[in-house]
A and B are shown apart, each in its own frame.
Chain A
Amino acid sequence: MIRWPAFLLAAYLLVVFQGTIGRLLVFNVPQVGPIGPDVVAMLAVFVAMFARNTTDVMLAAWVLGLGLDLTNSGGSGATVVGPMPIAYVLTAGVLHRVREAFFRELWLAQAILAFLFCLASHIVWLALQTLFRSLPDWSAFGWITLEIAISAVYTAILMPFVFAVLRKCRSWLLSASAGASMTF
């Protein structure tokens, strides 16, 4: 079970972190663009690895995705709110199903899951934004996907460190029975 008050507080703190102090982690890659980690996704991956119930995981992912969409507005126009919660829910649901195949204590497994989560959720988000904005510019899709992929690698590199911190807070975020169904 997820302890919702603590989880909502953690989600709030991480969303604010990503838009403020987290900007210190963003850097420009020449010919590619700004690259930065998705710290919020790390919490989603952590919950997906430890929470027992798939619906709980998807609800938590919805909250985190909504937080990102509400704090991300695009350039001069505005992206729509909604695609990121959908993308996070779908990806977290799949991740919860496949987590049995990974040894969650292994840092490499944590990094791989974070990479896959970021890559999949952000590409779904990008596709939904492009689709529902009815833009003809699908040719740019590949270019942005490259940025998403590099950002996903960056997130994967940081995931083991954030995982170690989140693990210390596990009892606050998840009840004791959480993760009991895990098999290795």
Chain B
Amino acid sequence: MRPTNTIVLMILLTASGITTLVGSGFSSRLRGLASLPLAPLGDGGMYLSASVRERMKELASEQVSQEQARELKNTCEELRDTVISLEAGNEELRRRLEELQALRPGGSEKPASRSFAPLEYDYELIPAHVIMADSLPYSHGRLVNPKRSGAIAPGMPVAARRLITDRLKNIPSGLPVINTMQLVGRIIESGPFTARMQLVTDRDFRSVPARIIRIIDPHNPRQVIINSAIQTLTEDINRPISVIVDGDGADGMTISDVPHDHQVRPGDRLATSGKDLALPAAIPIGTVTDVKGDPKNPSCVIIKVRPLMDLSAIRDVYIVWTPGSNPVAEKSGGDK
């Protein structure tokens, strides 16, 4: 006997009720399975969306006149000459240093390298494409995280992206996601060939250890307090400032509880701390755009950071996995 449409509808509604009651774990698995048929077309759609957004940005950007272009070209050439002369000076200094070291007893040995060399660690970059954003535009993030409901504020936009990967097995949650320029998010859910990334701008992207790198501008020096003494910030004493970053739920990130004495300014850079086990390297996160006094704590400032690029238009990303950090991912192969 063939079931009538009414019976089918009742069965489907009952199934919907059951999935609603079962909870988010089962729903996550369902979404993971559903993303497979969505991936082929979603990939093309997201490519188109990102291309249009890029093109619109180009059209909206300020046009440079011929005269301005000429000035910029001249400035570039001057800067290039300066770099060349500085490099020549460096070379000369290096040569003299080697001569001096050769004069010292045992001086033929090379000096120990300073800690500026990039940190070498074994890692794997899993390439991924952004294939879809969440289908509902408005905010509802507060609905989904009862454990941290205190940290959730009204008007919180959802900032998640579905990724397609080359992995059949689940990728562990919490892995950082980068593109060629910066840290863009972290994995919060995954299934065969797909994963879901939470963007750095999401309000629930919280408590990420990072460092502010102050940019030294000889034309505009800054006075900082070090060991109770006021000093002009120079390269020798310019240590990165350790901070904790939170997504602001809009288009950037915020950092609070930064002492005013550090004299952070717009234009300074934010990078990952390099101490995180999942990402033991300093990867750029964004640029400081605003520094305001903290009304609750006059000795501190609140810093606003913008990502280096428009995250709504990202397409190609890499999931960073450090072997040993998770045995599940260790079994899968990948480019090194």
| Cβ B31 vs Cβ A34 within 8 A | no
| Cβ B20 vs Cβ A132 within 8 A | yes
| Cβ B13 vs Cβ A86 within 8 A | yes
| Cβ B38 vs Cβ A71 within 8 A | yes
Chain A binder among B45-53, B63-71, B323-331: B45-53
| Closest beta carbon of chain B to A114's beta carbon, Å | 15
| Cβ A18 vs Cβ B9 within 8 A | no
B139 at the A interface (CB under 8 A): yes
| Cβ A136 vs Cβ B149 within 8 A | yes
- Binary contact readout B192-212 vs A (1 if CB under 8 angstroms, 0 otherwise): 000010100011110000000
| Cβ B31 vs Cβ A133 within 8 A | no
- Chain A: interface secondary structure? helix
Chain A binder among B90-98, B153-161, B219-227: B153-161
CB < 8 Å neighbour of A36 from B138, B160, B196, B205: B138
Question: Which interface class (under 10, 10 to 19, 20 to 34, 35 or more) fits A?
Answer: 35 or more
B304 at the A interface (CB under 8 A): no
B12 at the A interface (CB under 8 A): yes
A99 CA / B186 CA spacing, docked (Å): 46
B176 at the A interface (CB under 8 A): no
Contact A151/B137 with A59-B9, A89-B13, A132-B21 known, Cβ cut-off 8 Å: yes
A130 CA / B134 CA spacing, docked (Å): 18
Q: What residues on B are CB-neighbors of A148 within 8 Å?
A: 138
A20 CA / B49 CA spacing, docked (Å): 6
Q: Considering the complex, which residues of chain B in the window 13-30 have a beta carbon less than 8 Å from any beta carbon of chain A? A: 13, 15-24, 26-28, 30
| Cβ B20 vs Cβ A82 within 8 A | yes
Q: What residues on B are CB-neighbors of A133 within 8 Å?
A: 24, 143-144, 146
A73 at the B interface (CB under 8 A): yes
Q: What residues on A are CB-neighbors of B132 within 8 Å?
A: 16, 19-20, 71
| Closest beta carbon of chain B to A89's beta carbon, Å | 6
Chain B residue with Cβ nearest A131: B20
| Cβ B41 vs Cβ A77 within 8 A | no
CB < 8 Å neighbour of A151 from B12, B44, B138, B205: B138
| Cβ B19 vs Cβ A71 within 8 A | no
A126 CA / B142 CA spacing, docked (Å): 11
Q: What residues on B are CB-neighbors of A73 within 8 Å?
A: 28, 31, 134, 160, 189, 196
A85 CA / B152 CA spacing, docked (Å): 27
Interface pairs A-B: 8 shortest CB-CB: A20-B45, A36-B137, A75-B141, A77-B144, A82-B20, A76-B204, A74-B144, A70-B34
User: What residues make up the interface of B, taking CB atoms closer than 8 Å to A?
Assistant: 5-6, 8-9, 12-13, 15-24, 26-28, 30-31, 34-35, 37-38, 41-42, 44-46, 48-49, 52-53, 131-146, 149, 152, 154-160, 162, 188-189, 196, 198, 202-205, 250-251, 312
Q: Given contacts A62-B9, A85-B12, A151-B137, could you give 20 more A-B pairs where the C-beta distance is less than 8 Å?
A: A15-B135, A19-B38, A19-B135, A20-B41, A20-B46, A37-B137, A38-B136, A62-B12, A71-B35, A71-B134, A72-B136, A79-B144, A80-B24, A83-B20, A86-B13, A86-B16, A89-B13, A135-B146, A147-B155, A148-B138
Q: Give 25 A-B contacts (CB < 8 Å), ordered by A residue.
A: A15-B135, A19-B42, A20-B44, A20-B48, A20-B132, A21-B48, A55-B9, A58-B9, A59-B8, A59-B9, A62-B9, A73-B28, A73-B189, A75-B198, A76-B198, A78-B31, A80-B22, A86-B16, A89-B9, A128-B20, A129-B143, A139-B154, A143-B154, A147-B138, A148-B138
